[in-house]
């Protein structure tokens, strides 16, 4: 592996990052050069021969090669999982599908692409779930670099509970060949930054430990990672039968260019899983979200109100949680709860 790493460094110096990914993946996946490597790296899974489906949705091509490479690098037997990528913009569909098809052919991974032009995040996830053959559905955003234990840890924890909650909201951006990590997020605001020079997103993600990743992550309730309000679709999983039992993601909360609000679809999904009395477990894997400009969409207020109207008990049960997010009295008025 050290030899492969040295070859990777040489390639970086000669080519662009995209060319590096092409050559480096070809290097690490060549059957003769890597004979036995995948078996040695594979994490043992004691999940009663269960299989996972990783579902992500994409609307952009920035840092695409690193994002896709982090899926190829998963430390798990390829027969234990499949990937379904929903592409929600026709402008980028061809580019993304071409790269995925190439990776699928060269690696043998079971990787399918759904053309979902204009679909919201909820619509694309629900549709992908219908095509899934796995027993466990794992959700990730399409603009994240995944830890190498991402799929294996979700599968392992699947024996312990119905809903898995991973390490979420590690926000990072790249500037002048440096990774800038936004630290201590709270209510969408960063309290500081940490700069890591001469580093790719792949290297940064790979070199993290679960403890360090957790320290940089932002949870709705960090004191209890298994709290149902920590269900965020950037890193969560659920038994497929349970997913359909509670109706999947509520498409009224769908986030797309045509929507008037954003967010809360995953928290609302977590509320229904809680109401169904599913068991929640913490999964020690992480994903680094590549920061980019967001569609403001009213800061999610409309969707929050919609969620409270569907689950009026929530605003009173978790009153303290609303304190640093919204004006709770304003939310009550909007919900006509006063």
Choose the weakest-confidence range: 257-261, 268-272, 292-296: 292-296
Q: Alpha-carbon distance 104 to 101, whole Å?
A: 5
Look at phi and psi of residue 130 and say left if phi exceeds 0, alpha if psi is from -120 to 50, else beta: alpha
Please name the helix (run of DSSP H) or strand (run of DSSP E) that holds residue 55, with its range, or none. strand 52-58
Contact 189, 290 (CB under 8 A): no
Highest mean pLDDT of the ranges 93-102, 166-175, 256-265: 93-102
Contact 214, 189 (CB under 8 A): no
Strand pairing of 81-87 and 144-146?
Answer: unpaired
Q: Which residue has the tokens 């990787």?
A: 111
List the structure tokens of 184. Answer: 């201590």
In the chain, where the domains are located: 1-41, 47-295, 296-338
pLDDT over 80 at 61, yes or no: yes
Q: Which residue has the tokens 């799929």?
A: 151
Strand pairing of 236-239 and 136-139?
Answer: antiparallel
Contact 151, 138 (CB under 8 A): yes
SS3 sequence of 174-206: EECCEEEEEECCECCECCEEEEEECCCHHHHHH
Alpha helices in 49-181 (DSSP H): 64-72, 90-107, 121-131, 150-157
Confidence label for 218 from pLDDT (cuts 50, 70 and 90)? confident
Contact 233, 253 (CB under 8 A): no
Tallying the residues shown for the chain, one arrives at: 338
Which pLDDT value is given to residue 192?
A: 61
DSSP string, 235-293: SEEEEHHHHHHTTSS-GGG--STT-SS---HHHHHHHHHHHTTPPEEEEEEEEEEE---
Q: Which residue has the tokens 């990914």?
A: 21
- Beta-carbon contacts of residue 219 (< 8 Å; ≥ 6 apart): 168, 169, 225, 227, 230
pLDDT digits (tens, 9 = 90+) for 63-75: 999 999 999 999 9
pLDDT over 80 at 255, yes or no: no
CATH of domain 47-295: 3.90.550.10
- CA-based end-to-end distance of the chain: 63
Q: Alpha-carbon distance 315 to 312, whole Å?
A: 6
pLDDT digits (tens, 9 = 90+) for 112-151: 999 999 899 999 999 999 999 999 999 999 999 999 999 9
Q: Alpha-carbon distance 284 to 278, whole Å?
A: 19
Predicted TM-score of the model (pTM): 0.84
Contact 288, 204 (CB under 8 A): yes
Torsion angle of C-alpha atoms 230, 267, 201, 256, degrees rounded to 10: -170
- Distances in Å between the alpha carbon of 93 and those of 46, 70, 105, 115, 130? 36, 20, 18, 7, 20
pLDDT digits (tens, 9 = 90+) for 143-202: 999 999 999 999 999 999 999 999 998 988 888 878 888 764 443 444 467 788 778 999
Which pLDDT value is given to residue 40?
A: 33
């Amino acid at each position: 592996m050290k030899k492969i790493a040295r070859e990777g460094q040489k390639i970086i110096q000669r080519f662009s990052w995209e060319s590096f990914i092409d050559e480096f993946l070809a290097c690490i996946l060549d059957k003769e050069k890597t004979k036995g490597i995948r078996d040695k790296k594979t994490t043992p899974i004691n999940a009663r021969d269960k299989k996972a489906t990783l579902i992500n949705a994409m609307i952009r091509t920035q840092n695409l090669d690193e994002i896709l490479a982090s899926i190829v690098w998963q430390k798990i037997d390829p027969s234990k999982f499949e990937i379904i990528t929903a592409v929600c913009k026709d402008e980028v569909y061809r580019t993304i599908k071409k790269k995925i098809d190439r990776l699928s052919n060269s690696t043998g991974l079971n990787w399918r692409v759904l053309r979902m032009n204009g679909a919201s995040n909820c619509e694309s996830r629900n549709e992908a779930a219908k095509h899934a053959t796995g027993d466990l559905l794992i959700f990730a955003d399409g603009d994240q670099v995944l830890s190498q234990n991402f799929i294996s840890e979700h599968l392992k924890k699947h024996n312990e509970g119905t809903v898995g909650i991973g390490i979420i909201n590690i926000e990072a951006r790249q500037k002048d060949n440096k990774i800038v990590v936004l630290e201590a997020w709270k209510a969408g605001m960063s309290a500081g930054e940490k700069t890591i020079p001469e580093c790719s997103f792949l290297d940064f993600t790979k070199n993290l430990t679960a403890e360090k990743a957790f320290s940089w992550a932002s949870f709705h309730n960090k004191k209890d990672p298994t709290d149902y309000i920590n269900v965020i679709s950037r890193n969560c999983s659920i038994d497929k039968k349970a997913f359909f039992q509670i109706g999947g993601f509520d498409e009224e909360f769908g986030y797309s260019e045509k929507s008037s609000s954003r967010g809360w679809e995953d928290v609302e999904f977590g509320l229904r899983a809680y109401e169904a009395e599913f068991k929640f477990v913490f999964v020690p894997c992480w994903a680094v979200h590549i920061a980019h400009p967001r569609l403001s969409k009213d800061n999610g207020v409309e969707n929050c109100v919609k969620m409270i109207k569907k689950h009026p008990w929530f605003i009173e049960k978790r009153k303290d949680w609303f304190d640093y997010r919204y004006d709770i009295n304003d939310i009550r008025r909007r919900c006509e709860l006063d």
